[in-house]
């Protein structure tokens, strides 16, 4: 049902509005991708737990109202919990707290999904061979060597254990979407998470020139020069080309929980702990972030995997496919202390022209 909802024109139009319209953009401590992730999560929970198209239009109408009227993300999340709880109680007949808990447990946990965000270039391989943990490593060896050399200089700007042979899963679509648009996260983190970089959303928009500007700022602000600085730029370009960032699509791998070797959820303990809480609180505790960052050590067969691809066509890509001979097009003269302003270069140019004219007049 979720995939079918993503194809609806009214859904696509609303997601585009979430990204572009000020009424949604000006939320507290949020960007457009946070809102879109929450909306996808609301659709996903409905499709898994309610799974009834008959009630969806009413639900969608109330969702749109929540996103428009409420300014805080927590308030929007709370509103979604209440909406879904109300539907489960009034439309599906779960009118006792124990039946309410058992219904959601069966739908969302026993027969639900775990998710993993990954780089979209690996979709064909995953569909064909399944998810083999050691196979999708991008340029791990190069990054690991660079990380170690930077650490030797007391510089810590690459935050990943490249020898960690596990896959990280989540049970929350909002979390999965967050990482999908930032995949691979260590690359996004290097480009956009430094406090001093200017273009915080450059990687999300797949804007090569702004990402390059950011990485140069990282280099200059950490006083990295010589070979290390050149290696960072070179590896940045290699990874960019490998990821084929001319696409703004993002992908998530879904795996049924009953296909995974996971610890069992203690339903009786949960009922005992939360049976006296309000329905929306029970709903939140049962479906939200029980497994935010679950380490999984096994390969996953292709027959057990379903791929969700999000067409983020509300984003205009400003990216470039880099060739070996065109790097100078983007080389804006990085030194030890940053980027030389184009205005300074123009000033030097005009000053030179002025001096030439004076000399000509004198002669």
Backbone angles phi, psi at 170, to 5 degrees: -135, 155
User: 21 and 148 share a domain?
Assistant: no
| List of long-range contacts for 73-77, beta carbons under 8 Å, 24+ apart | 73/27, 73/28, 73/29, 73/30, 73/34, 73/35, 73/38, 76/35, 76/38, 77/38, 77/284, 77/288
Same domain, 183 and 327: yes
Q: Which domain holds residue 126?
A: 113-277+289-331
Same domain, 24 and 160: no
Residue 214 and residue 327 in one domain:
yes
Both 84 and 117 in one domain: the answer is no
Q: What is the rounded distance in angstroms from the CA atom of residue 92 to the CA atom of residue 16?
A: 32
Say whether both 166 and 308 belong to one domain.
yes
Residue 356 lies in a domain: no
Per-residue confidence band for 23, with pLDDT thresholds at 50, 70 and 90: confident
Whether 68 is in a domain gets the answer: yes
- 302 and 194 within one domain: yes
Domain-located, residue 342: no
Residue 17 within a domain: yes
Does residue 79 sit in helix, strand or coil? helix
How deeply is 360 buried, as exposed, middle or buried, from its count of CB atoms within 10 A (0-12, 13-18, 19+)?
exposed
Q: Considering the domain boundaries, does residue 324 fall inside one?
A: yes
For residues 18-43, b (16+ Cβ closer than 10 Å) or e, as one string?
bbeeeebeebeebebbbbbbbbbbbb
| Mean pLDDT of all residues in 150-165 | 91
Based on the domain organization, do 119 and 75 belong to the same domain? Answer: no
Q: Give the percent of the chain with pLDDT over 90.
A: 55
Q: Looking at residue 20, what is its pLDDT?
A: 86
Same domain, 149 and 46: no
Residue 316: both structure tokens together: 């205009």
pLDDT in tens, 125-146: 999 999 998 777 778 999 999 9
Domain final residue pick, 37, 65, 93: 93
- Tell me the Cα Rg of the chain: 25
Residue 65: the pLDDT is: 94
Domain count along the chain: 2
Q: Looking at the structure, do residues 229 and 310 belong to the same domain, yes or no?
A: yes
Model confidence pLDDT, tens digit, residues 185-243: 999 999 997 788 899 989 988 889 999 999 999 999 999 988 999 999 999 999 999 88
Same domain, 61 and 119: no
Mean pLDDT of 11-19: 92
Q: Which residue has the higher pLDDT, 125 or 94?
A: 125
């Amino acid at each position: 049902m979720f995939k079918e909802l993503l194809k609806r024109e009214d859904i696509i139009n609303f997601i585009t509005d979430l990204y572009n319209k000020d009424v949604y953009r000006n939320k507290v401590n949020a960007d457009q991708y946070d809102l879109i992730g929450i909306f996808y999560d609301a659709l996903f929970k409905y499709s898994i737990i309610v799974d009834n198209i008959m009630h969806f239009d009413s639900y969608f109408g109330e969702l749109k109202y929540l996103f428009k009227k409420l300014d805080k993300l927590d308030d929007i999340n709370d509103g979604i919990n209440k909406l879904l709880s109300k539907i489960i109680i009034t439309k599906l007949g779960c009118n006792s707290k124990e039946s309410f808990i058992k219904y959601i447990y069966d739908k969302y946990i026993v027969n639900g999904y775990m998710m993993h965000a990954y780089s979209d270039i690996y979709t064909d391989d995953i569909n064909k061979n399944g998810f083999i943990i050691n196979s999708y490593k991008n340029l791990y060896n190069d990054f690991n060597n660079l990380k170690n050399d930077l650490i030797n200089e007391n510089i810590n700007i690459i935050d990943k254990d490249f020898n960690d042979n596990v896959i990280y899963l989540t049970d929350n679509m909002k979390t999965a979407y967050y990482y999908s648009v930032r995949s691979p996260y260590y690359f996004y983190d290097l480009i956009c998470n430094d406090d001093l970089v200017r273009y915080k959303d450059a990687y999300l928009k797949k804007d090569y020139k702004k990402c390059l500007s950011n990485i140069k700022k990282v280099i200059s602000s950490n006083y990295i020069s010589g070979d290390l600085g050149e290696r960072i730029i070179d590896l940045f370009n290699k990874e960019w080309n490998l990821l084929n960032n001319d696409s703004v699509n993002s992908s998530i791998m879904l795996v049924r929980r009953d296909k995974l070797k996971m610890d069992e959820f203690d339903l009786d303990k949960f009922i005992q702990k939360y049976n006296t809480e309000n329905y929306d609180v029970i709903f939140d505790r049962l479906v939200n972030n029980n497994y935010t960052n679950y380490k999984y050590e096994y390969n996953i067969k292709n027959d057990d995997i379903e791929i969700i691809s999000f067409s983020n066509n509300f984003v205009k890509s400003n990216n470039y496919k880099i060739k070996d001979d065109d790097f100078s097009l983007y080389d804006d003269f990085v030194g030890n202390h940053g980027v030389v302003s184009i205005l300074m270069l123009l000033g030097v140019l005009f000053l030179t022209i002025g001096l030439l004219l004076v000399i000509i007049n004198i002669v």
